[in-house]
Amino acid sequence: MGLKQSITPYLWFDGTAKEAADFYVSVFPNSRIVTVGHNSEDTPGPTGSVLVVLFELDGVRFGAINGGSTFKLSEATSFLIDCATQEEIDFYWEKLGAGGQYQACGWLKDRFGLSWQVNSSDLVEKAHADPAAGARVMKAMMDMVKIDLAGLQRALDGK
């Protein structure tokens, strides 16, 4: 991984940063834990407990910090997983949604509270190239929980 990423998202957890990072690394290909930093006697939190985790998901670097209960993850921030096939959508939907909460339009909140959009940006981009097709695709998507690519394609085609 020789390329340096200029912006790294950091996620705030209340004691589950390492567990969450391990879970995400297990779901996405080409992923790994980069480093784990622990509290010292000079930092808040129990000495030796995990403070921060740097990890990569399919080559994209993230940070996770055990910052306490002050802040919570919310739908205000989400990550889009761009899927090429229905099989990919099904895989990520089941893996990330297990123990979490499924939501409308291909969104889910995982068991740690992180929101994901499991969709095909290619199909959505095609839909937005034509306003009438875009309206049909958006209407079809609003009726879905998990994305059905065949259903969105039918809406795109006007069928």
Q: Give me the CATH number covering residue 145.
A: 3.10.180.10
Which tens digits make up the pLDDT trace of 47-103? 889 999 999 999 999 999 999 999 999 999 999 999 999 999 999 999 999 999 999
Residue 93 has which token pair?
Answer: 């939907």
Q: Say yes or no: 111 and 125 in one domain.
A: yes
**How many structural domains are present in the chain?**
2
Question: Considering the entire predicted model, what is its pTM?
Answer: 0.90
Q: Say yes or no: 46 and 105 in one domain.
A: no
Bigger pLDDT: 45 or 108?
A: 108
Task: Give the amino acid at 10.
Answer: Y
Strands (E), the chain: 10-13, 32-38, 50-57, 60-66, 78-82, 101-102, 107-109, 115-119
